[in-house]
Amino acid sequence: MFDINPTDAAPIWRQIEEGMRRMITLGALKPGDTVPSVRDLAQQLRVNPNTVARAYQRLTEHGVFAVRRGEGTFVADEPSQPKRSERNEVLRDASNRYASAAISVGATIGDAVDELNTSYDRLVREHRRKA
Amino acid sequence: MNHAETPAIRIDGMTVRYGRRVAVDTASLTVPRGSVYALLGRNGAGKSSLVRCALGQQRATSGNTEVLGEDSWKHRTRLMERIGVVAEDADAPPEMRVQQLADFCASLYSRFDTKAFDARLDRFGIAKQTRFGDLSKGQKKQVSLALALATTPELIVLDDPTLGLDVVARKSLFDEVIAELADRGTTVFLTTHDLTGVEHIADRVAIMNDGRIVLEEELETLKARFRRIRFAAQPVALDAASFRTALVRNWGAGTEAIVSNYDDLAFERLRSNATIQSADVSAMSLEEIFIAVAGEKQ
């Protein structure tokens, strides 16, 4: 699964939403797979079930999850990717924070990009292993 | 009256005096139905007095307190049917066995759910024939929580539930609370010192200091507006950014400030100041925010 970081600037529901999207993109959750129930995920991450429900509701509204009445919640057959404008905004936001951290410790752009590459590869590898 | 629309708790201008000492000073707060509300404060901040008055165990000197739509003092007897309480020092006669305690509660509460009680005790791994006096501190809290939840209350009040518990007992207590939230959407009002435990489950928090509620809001909003900023320049550089500061101090040759109205644009203004070589901003945990707000005497 993924972890919740209390000192992350992003609220918990957004971290859950991001975590779920990441698992789908990397194949740890596939189209048609059942997603954990709100109760189970809340227990597992030790967060308020309302917060999980909020993330699930957004994922459903955005066509990433599909709810089948009486059966539960599934990954949509063709889970929608975020719109280009939305994706760019998320990237700009996160890179501002990252660039700020890099500059403050005196890292060169080269060092910063190397670290980013390493993190990207590690996340992909970890999820592939679990998939 | 529409119960769904009255808040679980509404305290308006509560003052509690003991002789000349003011324990609670015109405190107001609202606990929405279905929320998890954490009241934070250092020892002696007035939390316990406020909780006792809200539960009708004590009468406030002045102010209005409504619980589940009813006056908490006038209707205290019938309100107790609808509220589950886990007291700070969960206590019972030491000779009494857990089973006898459950029987006693079942005789008092028409809604007592024996099956749910037994299931919780099983999950906690506590035998019903154990004498209360032989339980560990954590087990006493667990029994107390199981008794409180078995009455299927509309509101559960936990007074420092994890005080003195080890990590494992703390985890199992929070697990039960999370399950209860998922299954029944019960409103939870708790006071605590365990800020990391509560950080993931609270919707709304209030901070009490010297008898006053100094802050009350959604946890998400609170965390969005507080940031720690560090920059290599003198504190006067902050003036350009119109930040409200909860704390400003030297940090090496530079400055560390905790700001309570953070926004990215203001930070950019600060960073673009010619005298600043570097500036860094970081999000804060609830514990860090609490220390900044209530930790040091102002």
How many helical (H) and strand (E) elements, i.e. helices and strands, does chain A have?
5, 2
Nearest to B181 among A12, A48, A101 (CB): A48
Residue A40 vs residue A90, higher pLDDT: A40
Phi, psi of B258 (to 5 degrees): -105, 120
pLDDT at A28 over 90: no
How big, in percent rounded to 5, are the helix, strand and coil portions of chain A?
60, 5, 35
Q: Which amino acid is at B213?
A: I
Taking contacts as CB-CB distances below 8 angstroms, the residues of chain B near A106 are 278
Query: For position B19, what pLDDT does the model report?
Result: 93
Burial class of residue A88, CB neighbours in 10 A (0-12, 13-18, 19+): exposed
Closest residue, chain B, to A96 (C-alpha): B264
Q: Which residue numbers in chain B have pLDDT < 50?
A: 298
Q: Which one of A46, A101, A106 has the shortest CB-CB distance to B200?
A: A46
What residues have CB less than 8 Å from B168, skipping those under 6 apart? B138
Please judge whether B200 and A96 are an interchain contact, meaning their C-beta atoms are less than 8 angstroms apart: no
Distance CA B54, CA B37 (A): 14
Q: Which of A7, A39, A100 sits opposite B281 (nearest CB)?
A: A100
**Residues of chain B by 3-state class (helix, strand, coil), percent to 5:** 35, 30, 35
Residues in chain B: 298
What 8-state DSSP symbol labels residue A81?
P
Give the residues across from B192 on adjacent strands: B40
**Phi, psi for B238 (deg, rounded to 5):** -60, -25
Is pLDDT above 90 for A124?
no
**Shortest distance, CA A41 to any CA of chain B (angstroms):** 10
ipTM of the complex: 0.81
- From its phi and psi, is residue B60 left (phi > 0), alpha (psi between -120 and 50) or beta? beta
What mean pLDDT is reported for chain B? 91
Output Rg (C-alpha) for chain A, integer angstroms.
16
| CA-based torsion, A81, A83, A89, A95: positive or negative | positive
C-alpha distances in Å from residue B246, one per residue of B116, B240, B263, B287, B289: 46, 17, 15, 14, 9
Rounded Cα distance between B117 and B119, Å, is 5
For residue A12, the chain B residues in CB contact (below 8 A) are 200
Strand, helix or coil for residue B183:
helix
Give Cα B89 distance to the centre of its chain: 16
Subunit contact A46:B34, Cβ cutoff 8 A: no
Q: Which of B175, B201, B279 sits opposite A48 (nearest CB)?
A: B201
Q: Which residues on chain A are in Cβ contact (under 8 Å) with B281? A: 100
The reply to whether residue A47 touches residue B200, judged by beta carbons under 8 angstroms, is: yes
Task: Specify the amino acid at residue A61.
Answer: E
Residues 21-60 of A with CB under 8 A from B: 38-39, 42-43, 45-50
Chain A residues touching B171 at Cβ < 8 A: 46
Q: Does A5 touch chain B (CB under 8 A)?
A: no
According to DSSP, residue A83 is labeled P
Separation between Cα atoms, residue B284 and residue B291, nearest integer Å? 11
Contact check, Cβ <8 Å, A39/B179: yes
Backbone phi and psi for residue B57, each to the nearest 5 degrees, phi listed first: -85, -10
Residues of A in contact with B181 (CB under 8 A): 42, 48-50
Instruction: Kindly state the average pLDDT of the residues A63-78.
Output: 89
Min distance A115 CA to chain B CA atoms (Å): 19
In chain B, alpha helices (H) = 47-54, 76-79, 98-108, 114-124, 137-150, 167-184, 195-199, 219-225, 264-271, 286-290
At residue A48 the predicted structure's pLDDT band, cuts being 50, 70 and 90, is very high
- Name the band, by pLDDT with cuts 50, 70 and 90, for residue A94: confident
Element spanning A60, H or E: helix A49-61
pLDDT of B297 reads: 52
Cross-chain Cβ contact A8/B283 below 8 Å: yes
Read off the pLDDT of residues B12-55 as tens digits, 9 standing for 90 and up.
999 999 999 999 999 999 999 999 999 999 988 999 999 999 99
- pLDDT at A131 exceeding the cut of 80: no
- Say whether A79 sits in a helix, a strand or coil: coil
Cβ of residue A92 closer than 8 Å to a chain B Cβ: no
Is the pLDDT at A41 greater than 60? The verdict is yes
Instruction: State the smallest CA–CA distance between residue A59 and chain B in angstroms.
Output: 19
Alpha helices in B67-166 (DSSP H): 76-79, 98-108, 114-124, 137-150
Question: How far is Cα A42 from Cα A50, in angstroms, rounded to an integer?
Answer: 9
| Number of Cα atoms under 13 Å in the Cβ half of residue A127 | 20
β-bridge pairing B83-86 and B155-159: parallel
Q: How many CB pairs under 8 A join A and B?
A: 65
